[in-house]
Amino acid sequence: MTKKILIVSKEKSLAHFTSIELQKADFLVDLVDDGQSGLKALRNGQYDLILVDYLLTDMDSHSFANELSTFKPASVLIVVAERSEVEANANHLRQYAVAAIAKPFVMGELVDQIGRIFRGREFIDRHCSLIQSRTSFRDLRIDPENHTVYRGDEQILLTRREYDLLATLMGHAKPMTREQLIEQVWKYESATETNVVDVYIRYLRGKIDRPDQSSYIETVRGVGYAMRL
C-alpha cells in the first residue's frame, strides 16, 4: 500500500520541491503551511508520516506534537530542523520525533531516511515517546549522525555498506534473516543472492571482533544473524 505523508512547513518553495521528490519516490503527499492547518488535515485524514518544521508560523513542533497526541497519538512524527536546533534540543525531540534531519539536506538522504522508517516499522507509543533503536552493544557503539563506529575508545573504519549492515543488526534485538537484511541494507539494488550477506558479515567480523572474545554478531542456525545479549 502506498504510504501517505503530510508536510507541515512554512517554507513553501522547499516544501513544494520536497513534495515533488517524494511523489517521484511513489509516496502520496499533502502540503500545509502552519500547525493548525496540519492538525485539521490530520483530524480529517489518515497519514503514515508527518514531516514538520521545528518552528512553524503559529507554534513549534513540540506544541504541534502535544495537540496531535490528544486525538491521534499513534502517528509517527519526523522533525525537519536546523542542525543547531537538533543538537540543542536532542533530548526534547526524542520525546515525540521518530527522527530528525537538518536543513539543508540532500533530497536523496531524506527519501532514504523515510524509507528506513517505513521498512523498520518504527512506531511510537500512546504518549508519542520514541522507541529508539540500539546504538551500542557490549563495548561497541555507533554514532548515527556521523556514521562512525567505536569499540571502546578506538574508532573502527567501515565502508558505508558495512556500517549500514552493523547499524541494522544492532537496531534489532531479534535475529534477522538474510532476506530481511538484503531488503533493509541493500534495498535489492545490487544484491540478487543472499550469500552477499554472509560475505559482508565476514568482512564486518574481521574488523570489529577481538581474537580473544566471542563475535559480536551471532549466527542463528536456520535463521540468519543477530546481535543480542
State the amino acid at position 138 in one-letter form. R
State the amino acid at position 54 in one-letter form. Y
Whole-number Å distance between alpha carbons of 225 and 229: 13
What cell numbers appear for 24 in the block?
Answer: 517521484
What cell numbers appear for 28 in the block?
Answer: 502520496
Closest by CA position to 11, among listed 52, 60, 40, 66: 52
Closest by CA position to 184, among listed 173, 197, 195: 197
Spell out the residues 6+ positions from residue 145 whose beta carbon is closer than 8 angstroms to its own.
Answer: none
Model pTM?
Answer: 0.54
pLDDT tens string, the chain, 229 residues long: the values are: 688 999 999 999 999 999 999 998 889 999 999 999 999 999 998 898 999 998 999 999 889 988 888 887 656 777 877 777 777 777 677 777 877 888 877 888 888 888 877 765 433 332 233 334 568 888 998 887 677 889 988 899 888 888 889 988 988 878 889 888 887 787 655 445 668 899 999 999 999 999 989 999 999 999 999 987 6
Residue carrying C-alpha cell 578506538: 154
Domains and CATH numbers, the chain: 4-119 (3.40.50.2300), 136-226 (1.10.10.10)
Q: Where are the beta strands (DSSP E) in 54-212?
A: 77-82, 99-103, 136-137, 140-143, 148-151, 154-156, 176-177
What is the model's pLDDT at position 229? 65
Whole-number Å distance between alpha carbons of 29 and 32: 10
Closest by CA position to 11, among listed 81, 67, 84: 81
